[in-house]
Amino acid sequence: MTGMNANGRAAKSSRWTFWVWIAAGLVLYAVLGLLIDSGVIDSYMSLIVYQMCLNVILAVSLNLINGFTGQFSIGHAGFAGVGAYTSAVMTAKMHLPFPAALLVACVFTAFIGLLIGIPTLRLKGDYLAITTLGFGQIIQVVLINLQYVGGAAGMTVHKETNFTWLYFAALITVAVIANFVRSRHGRACIAVRENEVAAEMMGINVTYYKVLAFTIGALFAGLAGALAAHTFYFIKPTSYGFLQSFNILVIVVLGGLGSITGSILGAVVLTLITALLQDYPQWQMVIYSLILILIMIFRPQGLMGTKEFRLSSIGLGRRRDGHAAP
Amino acid sequence: MPLLEMDRVTCVFGGLRAVSGVSLHLNQGELVGLIGPNGAGKTTIFNLLTGVYAPSEGRIQFDGESLVGRAPWRINKAGIARTFQNIRLFSDMTVLDNVKIAYHNHVRHGVFSSILRLPNHFRGEREIEDKAMAFLSIFHLEGKKDEMAKNLPYGEQRRLEIARALATQPRLLLLDEPAAGMNPQETRELMELIRFIRERFSLTILLIEHDMSLVMGICERIYVLDHGTVIAQGTPEEIRSNPKVIEAYLGEVTS
């Protein structure tokens, strides 16, 4: 067969590519860690870095649902809320060790995602948007009225995380979702986005892949929520409403629906902008909105579109497919 | 026993009988044409065969098993693939990825293998890539593997759709107006291609087509559909001389 040899090389190079990315991630960790330890990044700025890590997890996981699989979910913060409160109950009330609480939170949030996904995603159309919107509201109302977790006043949690926890959680999230997307399973999800009828006719179990993407997305939202709870050691129901879901959606759209590196870039940029605008409270929303409007006018497809930043674009590795490096 | 059998199948949408008491069969290895004026119910029959619509009445059997009530992806797994009248490629994916999707069910590596990049992920993905490239080279599309499907010229999009359908490794291939929009030269090449893939993959083919030179040229039997019912069937010669067909359809085309 022609091209056999080249294909063999391509597969090898993709194996290699993955480890180069991981190595780059570790180098960035070392650099940021050093800067934080040495005080170059002060405690206020390190909070911004923490928030970036959390936003990366939330945006990349929402991108799997909205960008890659083409399902419109607008309740991502609700899942973060489920993760936050589950983990908080586990550590503060059940006195479970933090890693165990994290695991329980992820599994439970994924389960809730499954519960919502199965009936909703069987239907074709925009039902998911309506359901997830309602889900976000229900979560808030339930939490406000649940005295066991402090009701509207919120709940205090131990601080359990540090930069290492947050950074590696983000790194693992990106690695898992990138590996998922770049496999036959991820291609199936993209095919569902591109043309549901044709995908089903090619033997793709459309409902299965929609529910799978939605559940994986919920799991990582739960992770981000649990980490956030134990980073900022105080949680309240209003942190998981529509506005927060909308903020995550903005990051994903701004970075580019269907681009993981776009979501990372979007998370970093928007977290920075939000942090910088803290100093001008009266102009904050005006400037924020203005920036969004300008980006959408000049790059309606988002910063990265559906493209990815690839090693090949800086002269490393081989070009593997048609996604031209930007 | 025929490979595919539709027995008095009726499909009703509200008050409209799109297909009414249609019986047809395909024997293993046959190349059969399905013709008829616009709105006769040809594409509805394809949609019934692939599970997009459920018949209101009647039986559909493929290889001895009923297809009624089965999801389209299960019907594809059972061995039926199709192309679409209005092309339905994954337009924002590469040509290669379009074909790779179709090979999805012929490898086994699971979600965890892919996430953890276990060896069987790489084995499976390499098999997908090699097989997809082999299908592309049959259709002379290997040079375009990295192009977005939406950027291909029309004729190549049609060929890619057939390549993609074949990559699911069907036993029965349903082609919905494959020559639509092609010039006579392209149509002749398409005829050769259909003959070739039929031999190479020992396919049974059901073909909807308006281009009479193509239908008469390659089909062994033809069903003629009008207003949702079969008004004639037989060899191309029989169809050509059938007065009912001439009246309903061919008269206008050949005169």
- The interface residues of chain B toward chain A in range 49-108, judged by CB-CB distance below 8 A, are 50, 52, 71-73, 76-77, 81-82, 84, 88-97, 100-102, 104-105, 107
Lowest mean pLDDT among A94-103, A171-180, B10-19: B10-19
DSSP letter string, B152-200: S-HHHHHHHHHHHHHHT--SEEEEESTTTT--HHHHHHHHHHHHHHHHH
Q: Tokens for A228? A: 């956030």
pLDDT at B10: 96
Determine the Cα–Cα distance for residues B110 and B130; give it in Å rounded to an integer. 19
- At B251, is the pLDDT very low, low, confident or very high (cuts 50, 70, 90)? low
Q: Return the CATH number of B7-79+170-255, one of 3.30.56.10, 3.40.50.300, 3.40.630.10, 3.40.50.2020.
A: 3.40.50.300
Higher pLDDT, A294 or B83: B83
Pull the structure tokens for residue B40.
């006769």
Q: Across residues A85-96, what is the average pLDDT?
A: 96
Each domain of chain A, given as residue ranges in start order, spans 49-240
* Stated pTM of the model: 0.91
Residue A258 gets which letter from DSSP?
Answer: T
User: pLDDT category, B39, cuts 50, 70, 90?
Assistant: confident
Q: Which helix (H) or strand (E) holds B232?
A: strand B229-234
Tell me the backbone φ, ψ of residue B242, rounded to 5 degrees.
Answer: -75, 120
| Nearest residue of A to residue B162, measured between CA atoms | A202
Cβ atoms of residues B27 and B4 within 8 Å: no
Residue B82: pLDDT band with limits 50, 70, 90: very high
Q: What's the full length of chain A, in residues?
A: 326
**Regarding beta strands B221-226 and B80-82, do their DSSP bridges make them parallel or antiparallel, or are they unpaired?**
unpaired
Residue A300's pLDDT band, with cuts at 50, 70 and 90, is confident
Rounded-to-integer distance, Cα A65 and Cα A70, Å: 6
Q: Looking at chain A, list the stretches that DSSP marks H as alpha helix, in order from N- to C-terminal side.
A: 4-37, 43-63, 76-88, 98-121, 127-145, 163-181, 184-194, 196-201, 206-232, 242-255, 260-277, 284-298
Share of chain A above pLDDT 90, in %: 74
Averaged pLDDT of chain B:
93
Q: Where in chain B is the domain with CATH 3.40.50.300?
A: 7-79+170-255
* B117 in reach of chain A (CB within 8 A): yes
Task: Kindly state the DSSP code that residue A152 receives in the 8-state scheme.
Answer: G
CB contact under 8 A, B76 and A202: yes
ipTM of the complex: 0.92
| Residues whose CB is less than 8 angstroms from the CB of residue B111 and which lie 6 or more positions away in sequence, other chains included | A180, A185, A212
pLDDT at A321: 42
Q: Are the beta carbons of B197 and B137 closer than 8 angstroms? A: no
Summarize pLDDT for A160-209 with one digit per residue, the tens.
999 999 999 999 999 999 999 999 999 999 999 999 999 999 999 999 99
Rounded to 10 deg, the angle between the A184-194 and B95-102 helix axes is 110
Task: Quick: pLDDT tens for B145-203.
Answer: 999 999 999 989 999 999 999 999 999 999 999 998 888 998 999 999 999 999 999 99
Q: Who has greater pLDDT, B58 or B211? A: B58
Q: Is the pLDDT of residue A56 over 50?
A: yes
- pLDDT of A270 > 60? The answer is yes
Cβ–Cβ gap B142/A3 under 8 Å: yes
Answer whether residue A319 shows pLDDT above 50: no
B91 neighbors B149 (Cβ within 8 angstroms):
yes
Residue B244's pLDDT is: 85
- For residues B246 and A257, the model is more confident at A257
Question: Comparing C-alpha atoms, which of A214, A217, A71 is closest to residue A130?
Answer: A71
How close is the nearest chain A Cα to the Cα of B156, in Å?
Answer: 17
Task: Give percent of chain B with pLDDT exceeding 70.
Answer: 97
Predicted confidence at residue A3, as pLDDT, reads 39
Whole-number Å distance between alpha carbons of B45 and B67: 13
In angstroms, the separation between the Cα of residue B10 and the nearest Cα of chain A is 22
**Angle of helix A163-181 versus helix A260-277 axis, rounded to 10:** 150
B246 touches chain A (CB under 8 A): no
Percent of residues, chain B, with pLDDT higher than 90: 85
Sign of CA dihedral B57, B61, B62, B65: positive
> Is pLDDT of B125 > 60?
yes
